Amino acid sequence: MKVLVIGGGAREHALCRSLSQDPSVTELHCAPGNAGIAQVATVHPVDQLDGALVADLAAKLGADLVVVGPEAPLVAGVADAVRAAGIPVFGPSGAAAQLEGSKAFAKDVMAGAGVPTARSYVCTTPEEAAEALDAFGAPYVVKDDGLAAGKGVVVTSDRAAALAHAASCERVVIEEYLDGPEVSLFAITDGTTVLPLQPAQDFKRALDGDEGPNTGGMGAYSPLPWAPAGLVQEVLDTVLQPTVDELRRRGTGFSGLLYAGLALTSRGTRVIEFNARFGDPETQVVLARLRTPLAGVLLASATGTLDQLEPLRWDEGAAVTVVIASEGYPAAPRTGDPIEGLAEAEADGTAYVLHAGTKADEDGRVLSAGGRVLSVTATGADLAEARDRAYAAVARISLKGGQHRTDIALKAATA
Ligand code: AMP
């Protein structure tokens, strides 16, 4: 199988790593990729938001499968363009990706499907926003309606800050605050059959102890030893399957990766958000534990044959990933700094480094090229071992001004 992956972050590096280890994959390509992906795939400098260019590249390569990683190309209809060229593609249509692209659309689908989520109002004026904030009370949750790379959400007890965020967006969703721990549960679907993966937890805030601003995600781990037994089946029955069925009923069938961000509240499981693609950084730990070769699973989604797939096989152990971000992330990330210690971090074979925002210069040195720079990943018999291995590798890497959290998976590993 010849596979083309679209995107250039640590999620795509994780996808490419797994695909490169799948014996059925004979050729692996990625556009645009990054310095790390270039070590396992042939990279192509193609604009990932341009569906026609991506479809052309896929046709030229003779790709048997295209895997679209990030949300922006999905919302821009890149999967539609590839599908129209007759090439199997893993990822939803632009219309179905509105599940992530518009929070208001997602709320409407959830209402139609009877999926439990926070009560909410869609607001377009300061008056409406003020009314909604006061209806729910503090803490306030204000979400930009459009795509914001995980950074459009403000959760605050400061009413003025909540109002200011609402005013800075064209359209916002204001909703009730959900208490309780968060879980990310991914499912692969072909529009009818839904195959849940293993749950993971990510760390959205920039600083230890869940302080600081929301980010794209600073680390993740899987499995969740504290999660209630039966959680995956419950979410499949009450969230994932009803949502996929509702979208099919509406004529916007969803195939690809359905990501449910959940809060396990005192009043039951609630959906915080849906995403239309693999989550970053949870993908790094979920794929680290997946034993079933990946390409066949993604192809079954693309070709509508998931019901014929053998049950997925999983590593019994644990995986932890720690994100190294650049100085100033998320507000004003500094880029262009050399990264040292990448080989040393992987030297003992217990951890590996997935690249997020990196690029190679003319001398082959690896430079930072984005807010999140690396995703250092390790597996182990349990979370404590995976965590120790990941942090030992992080300690061998140097990036000027680089920052990482020191408490990824800490509570879960020591509970
Ligand atoms: P989202 O982009 O919708 O996933 O929101 C980003 C983060 O904001 C989530 O992971 C939560 O930590 C937080 N958040 C979003 N919605 C709520 C809510 N209704 N109640 C509490 N926290 C929330």
pLDDT digits (tens, 9 = 90+) for 237-265: 999 999 999 999 999 999 999 999 999 99
Evaluate whether 100 touches 275 at the Cβ level (below 8 Å).
yes
* Mean pLDDT score across all residues of the chain: 96
Which of 49-58, 90-99, 145-154, 164-173 comes out lowest in average pLDDT?
A: 145-154
CA of 261 to the centre of ligand 1 (A): 8
pLDDT digits (tens, 9 = 90+) for 304-337: 999 999 999 999 999 999 999 999 999 999 999 9
Percent of residues, the chain, with pLDDT higher than 70: 99
Q: Of all protein residues, whose CA lies closest to atom 15 belonging to ligand 1?
A: 272
The pLDDT assigned to 335 comes to 97
- pLDDT band per the 50, 70, 90 thresholds, residue 401: very high
CA of 124 to the centre of ligand 1 (A): 20
Q: Say whether pLDDT at 150 is over 70.
A: no
Q: For a substitution probing ligand 1, which of 100, 155, 205, 271 has the most ligand atoms within 8 Å of its CB?
A: 155
Please state the rounded mean pLDDT for residues 397-413: 98
Ligand 1 atom nearest the C-alpha of 178 is: 20
Q: Say whether pLDDT at 84 is over 90.
A: yes
pLDDT digits (tens, 9 = 90+) for 217-235: 999 999 999 999 999 999 9
- Ligand 1 site residues (CB inside 6 A) read 118, 141, 143, 150, 153, 155, 175, 177-178, 182, 204, 214, 261, 272-273
Q: Say whether pLDDT at 14 is over 60.
A: yes
CA of 87 to the centre of ligand 1 (A): 36
Please state the pTM of the whole predicted model: 0.94
The pLDDT assigned to 153 comes to 87
Task: Please name the residue that has the structure tokens 């009560």.
Answer: 119
The pLDDT assigned to 149 comes to 58
Q: Of all protein residues, whose CA lies closest to atom 11 belonging to ligand 1?
A: 272
Q: Of all protein residues, whose CA lies closest to atom 5 belonging to ligand 1?
A: 153
Q: Of all protein residues, whose CA lies closest to atom 2 belonging to ligand 1?
A: 150
pLDDT digits (tens, 9 = 90+) for 350-383: 999 999 999 999 998 999 999 999 999 999 999 9
